Amino acid sequence: MLHQTLKHDSVLPKEVLESLVHSKTQSVFDGTLGLGGHADLIFKAYPQIKLYVGTDLDGQHLDAARENLKAYEDRFIGVEANFSQIDEVAAAHPFPRPLCILLDLGVCSNHLDDESKGFSHQADGPLHMAFSANQAHNCQTIVNEQSVGELTRIMRDFGEEPSAHRIALKIVAAREEKPLTRTSELKEIIEKSVHPRDRKKALTRVFQAFRMATNQELHHLSLALDKSFELMESGDRIGVMSYHSLEDRIVKKQFQTRSRPKTEATKFSLHDVVEPAEIKLITKSPITASPAEIEENPRSRSVKFRIAEKI
């Protein structure tokens, strides 16, 4: 797909500019650079930014972002890496402080529009689903190699799919005839496993579940948060946009735990503070998209944006 045809509307643009980045921000780590939509907005609104490092696993997105951000090439660095490698990126490119970390999780709209990436059930394509084209382990290896139990767990845990076990049994039966290689084959199995009225929801849930498993999305999110809090200094901020309840649960738990002082019961007091809070919450409850934004950009429908600052 050519750069010119790639398109993605950045979610919560105003909120990123008003609640995450601010007039003292000197650098940004944009873990999910995509096509550079948020990056462009941030550069325009905050010309004082000295260094903006964006990572993406999708090499095509990085190329497009480099093109889109040409005007800022003296301050912009694009790195083909997982955002969970933030520690390595920070070691290679020391961030002037205060730093802002932005994670806008999941797929871009054009991932779903490009059938060759295999993210969508709406058009036939290879069963790929990996953000990185270089990744050997993809959805095809999962559906053809995992046990019924593991396939069921993936669809239940990541997709909350009620017919997970039935679909897993049908996947294993089908692959005994011939390995599954196309999204249309997975789609047909799902459609045959559920009531016609549940087909659309089941397709969305199962495709999402396999995408999350293929990219080990929850694992990399947890790792990235741990490493981010480790390297953040006082005044640095982190903002995470999640689109799935399991992602938001991970972010919420980390934010809540780290925003409370650590206490321990001793023989003198029930609540001795042993360590002060590490962060303060900029958003007490997550920011969601307005009805107007949802109307214009349906992808924003499920977003939850949480922001915290290191104390």
Ligand X SMILES: C[S@@+](CC[C@H](N)C(=O)[O-])C[C@H]1O[C@@H](n2cnc3c(N)ncnc32)[C@H](O)[C@@H]1O
SS3 label, residue 54: strand
Q: Is 158 in the site for ligand X (CB under 6 A)?
A: no
Q: Is the dihedral of CA 126, 128, 129, 134 positive or negative?
A: negative
Q: Are 241 and 12 within 8 A, CB to CB?
A: yes
Binding of residue 55 to ligand X (CB under 6 A)? yes
By rule CB under 6 A, what count of residues binds ligand X?
21
Torsion of CA 5, 80, 247, 192, to 10 degrees: 60
54 interacts with ligand X by CB under 6 A: no
CB of 286 to ligand X, least distance (A): 16
- When the beta carbons of 92 and 274 are compared against ligand X, the nearer one is 92
- Cα dihedral 13, 19, 21, 25, rounded to 10, equals 170
- Determine which residue in the list 21, 42, 108, 307 makes contact with ligand X, applying CB under 6 A: 108
Calpha distance 125→122 (Å, rounded): 9
Among 10, 152, 242, 300, which residue sits at the site for ligand X (rule: CB under 6 A)? 10
The CA distance from 156 to 28, in Å, is 36
Characterize 257-293 residue by residue with b for buried, 16 or more Cβ atoms within 10 angstroms of its Cβ, and e for exposed.
Answer: ebbeeeeeeeeeeeeeeeeeebbeebbeebbebeeeb
Under rule CB under 6 A, residue 114 binds ligand X: no
Q: Does 37 bind ligand X (CB under 6 A)?
A: yes
Q: Which of 42, 78, 98, 104 binds ligand X (CB under 6 A)?
A: 104
> Which of 10, 138 has the CB closer to ligand X?
10
Q: What is the distance between the alpha carbons of residues 106 and 158, in angstroms, rounded to a whole number?
A: 13
Comparing CB distances to ligand X, the nearer of 31 and 163 is 31
8 is a site residue for ligand X (CB under 6 A): yes
By CB under 6 A, residue 35 contacts ligand X? yes
Interface pick for ligand X out of 27, 82, 193, 228 (rule CB under 6 A): 82
- Among residues 117, 220, 227, 237, which is the contact residue for ligand X, using CB under 6 A? 220
| Region near ligand X per CB under 6 A, out of 27-35, 173-181, 227-235, 289-297 | 27-35
Residue selected from 15, 58, 236, 309 as contacting ligand X according to rule CB under 6 A: 58
Q: Which of 3, 66, 67, 70 is nearest to 30 (CA)?
A: 66
78, 98, 106, 159: residue in contact with ligand X (rule CB under 6 A): 106
Residues 64, 6: Cα–Cα separation, whole Å: 8
**Residue 34 interacts with ligand X (CB under 6 A)?**
yes
Choose, by CB under 6 A, the member of 29, 52, 131, 207 that binds ligand X: 131
Query: What residues have CB less than 8 Å from 70, skipping those under 6 apart?
Result: none
- For residue 105, give the amino acid letter: L
Residues at the interface with ligand X (CB under 6 A)? 8, 10, 31-32, 34-38, 55-58, 61, 82-83, 104, 106, 108, 131, 220
